[in-house]
Amino acid sequence: MSDRTVLLGLDGATFAVLDPLMQEGVMPFLKEFVDSGARGDLQSVIPALTPPAWTSLTTGRSPGRHGIFDFFCKESPDSHNIRIATAKDVHGETIWSIADRHGLRTIALNFPLMFPAPRIRGYVVPGWMPWRQIRLGCHPPELYDRLKKLPGFNAQELAMDITPDAKPIQGVRPGEYEEWVVVHIRREQQWATILRTLMHEDPCELTAIVFDGVDRIQHLCWRYLSPAASDTLSPEGTRIRERCREYFRELDRLLAGVVGLAGPEARVIIASDHGFGPQTGTFFANAWLEKQGYLAWAGEGTPRADRPEALGIEQLARHAYLLDWEKTRAYAPTPSSNGIHIVRRGPGHPHGVPDDEYEGFRQKLAQQLREATDPASGKAIVSRVWTRDEVFEGPYKSLAPDLTMDLADGGLISILASDVPYMSRTETSGTHRRNGVFIARGPGIARGVRLSGVSILDVPPLLLHSLDLEIPADMEGTVPEGALDPSWLRSRPIRRAAAAPIEDVPEPQAEEALFTKEDELKLAQRLRDLGYID
């Protein structure tokens, strides 16, 4: 197994946090790993969000070409209804499917959008699954019974549980932080135990895992973890900071164990789906649209923000009932994509924007967003606005938001009603940035190299090249040759498949949604944990 390849995903990792931890001795293994390999910032996709970004990293396609823009997807281009995205919504071959096609085997753990699991040679445990259903996601089916026998196995902690997983975005009560970080330490230990067990008992050519506690801890604990914070913390804040460092210390130990088990002949790539930085305020996008006359709520009972951190996660998928569709022409359905959808006139939407007015409407709205300011400070709220034609080129762009925003502080929007369109947060939290991390080490990898301009789309070509496989023509990225030892590159030239004839891709069609019709309101209230969290 001379081309054994390992992908260690660190969800949301940023050198802004990792570098100080390495320098201060909290992550000694990672420091040694970086020093003896190649590193660089990794540019994520737009939006820099877990589902589209990891899907780009595993397919080599940008969101307009793989069809994933959010944790949720529209039923059809003209529908207001959204549903949870699944593996069935991912378009394009994944690195494990390609490996399987060439007879290679994969261990893939904790990646989003892997349910239903691909029936590949090897092992799959999907991430972002409800804990009661992990068995259904495991491949092969008998794998779950093996997992249950592992020491310390706890499905509820291993899986996504919506209650604790909402906390990174919306906050936890004072006094809960430390225990919450400790849960994530145990959680990563469980994933690492599963990985080491499979690697030991049945090693595969491609091994891949996501450790997602990095993202969750940075969301909630940024103000404790940030290098700038250490001098100003209270005694409790200092304790929380130490717990966070404990998490990273343990993560370092787990990474060392996995890399050691893979052996010196393995090429190891560490990558994140996006980076991280501070979020200082909240933009209530639907409240702003209401004030501009683009949106109207259906009536009393509209959920309102009671604090700046309230993004409206509990209200996901309820916009279909909460908005007045005779008066609404633009709306933000989820707090997880920073996207605004325009209501187009058509069957079922007689009050939408007519086709011949659409472009003018979209441009005007985009310009107004660019000019939106925080009334208190006078500063711009939105730093960039893209039309979907600008950033989502590909056969699935019609499923994307009409407009996608970058907020000035890099944060996520709220979808709740609010008296004011923008609130400063009482405490700084963490949120996504586009620059993540790329680190590689192993035979054929250059030592001590710093790279620039590496895209998340370049990672799957590198993984396939490491496995000595041809790179499909439809992968948008290229092998980052600067990361490779020139002599190794000469001995193993990059093989790229010839471009295949472009096939017609049918327009996405409506599928049945599970929780979308107006009559479901009562059930939706019962089912308020629908969904997500990053």
Binding residues for other proteins, rule: CB under 8 A, are 83-84, 86, 88, 115-116, 129-130, 132-137, 141, 144, 148, 155, 162, 511-517, 519-524, 526-531
Angle, helix 177-201 to helix 213-225, in steps of 10 degrees: 150
DSSP secondary structure letter of residue 86: -
Nearest Cα residue to 334 out of 60, 24, 66, 83: 83
Comparing CB distances to other proteins, the nearer of 237 and 303 is: 303
Sheet bearing 403-407, strands edge to edge: 330-331, 339-342, 403-407, 382-387
The angle at the Cα of 107, spanning 104 to 108, to the nearest 5 degrees, equals 120
* CA 16 – CA 18 distance, rounded (Å): 6
Nearest Cα residue to 141 out of 115, 159, 123, 160: 123
* CA 184 – CA 216 distance, rounded (Å): 9
Least distance (Å) between residue 325 CB and other proteins: 18
Least distance (Å) between residue 52 CB and other proteins: 20
Least distance (Å) between residue 528 CB and other proteins: 8
Give the bridge partners for 436, in sequence order: 42
Comparing CB distances to other proteins, the nearer of 200 and 526 is: 526
Least distance (Å) between residue 522 CB and other proteins: 5
Side chain identity, residue 177: Y
* CA 99 – CA 507 distance, rounded (Å): 29
Least distance (Å) between residue 134 CB and other proteins: 8
Comparing CB distances to other proteins, the nearer of 101 and 132 is: 132
* CA 430 – CA 225 distance, rounded (Å): 10
Least distance (Å) between residue 97 CB and other proteins: 16
417: alpha, beta or left? (left if phi > 0; alpha if psi -120 to 50) = beta
Least distance (Å) between residue 526 CB and other proteins: 5
Comparing CB distances to other proteins, the nearer of 34 and 524 is: 524
Comparing CB distances to other proteins, the nearer of 8 and 134 is: 134
How many CB atoms are located within 10 Å of the residue 103 CB?
A: 8
Helix (H) or strand (E) segment spanning residue 40: strand 38-43
How many CB atoms are located within 10 Å of the residue 495 CB?
A: 12
Side chain identity, residue 227: P
Least distance (Å) between residue 512 CB and other proteins: 5
How crowded is the C-beta side of 215, counted as CA atoms within 13 Å? 25
Comparing CB distances to other proteins, the nearer of 115 and 361 is: 115
Comparing CB distances to other proteins, the nearer of 504 and 512 is: 512
Comparing CB distances to other proteins, the nearer of 146 and 239 is: 146
